[in-house]
Amino acid sequence: MFILPTDEIRMMTESTRQRGAARCEACGKALAVWVTSTHKIAPIGSVDGCPCGGSSFRLLG
C-alpha cells in the first residue's frame, strides 16, 4: 500500500480514519499510521512517508 497524497490526508476526519500500524517495505521500520475505510494509509506525523524515504507500507495485524 502507498501513502495518501497530502490533500487527502488533510481531509481525513475521525469518522473516516482509524489508527493502525504498518511496516515500511523499504527499511522494515514499523510506524503508526492512519487507515481509511478503503485501507489507504498515511503515517501519523509525516506527509512524506517513512524517514528512510520509503512510501510503500504493509499493514500489520
Domain map (residue ranges) of the chain: 6-59
pLDDT digits (tens, 9 = 90+) for 18-45: 899 999 999 999 999 988 877 788 888 8
Residue with cell 510506524: 31
pTM over 0.85? The answer is no
Is the pLDDT at 54 greater than 80? The verdict is yes
Structure-block grid coordinates of residue 56:
510503500
Give the count of beta carbons closer than 10 Å to the beta carbon of residue 24.
20
Residue 6's pLDDT band (boundaries 50, 70, 90)?
A: low
- Coil/strand/helix, residue 29: coil
Residue 48's pLDDT band (boundaries 50, 70, 90)?
A: confident
Q: What percent of the chain has pLDDT over 90?
A: 34
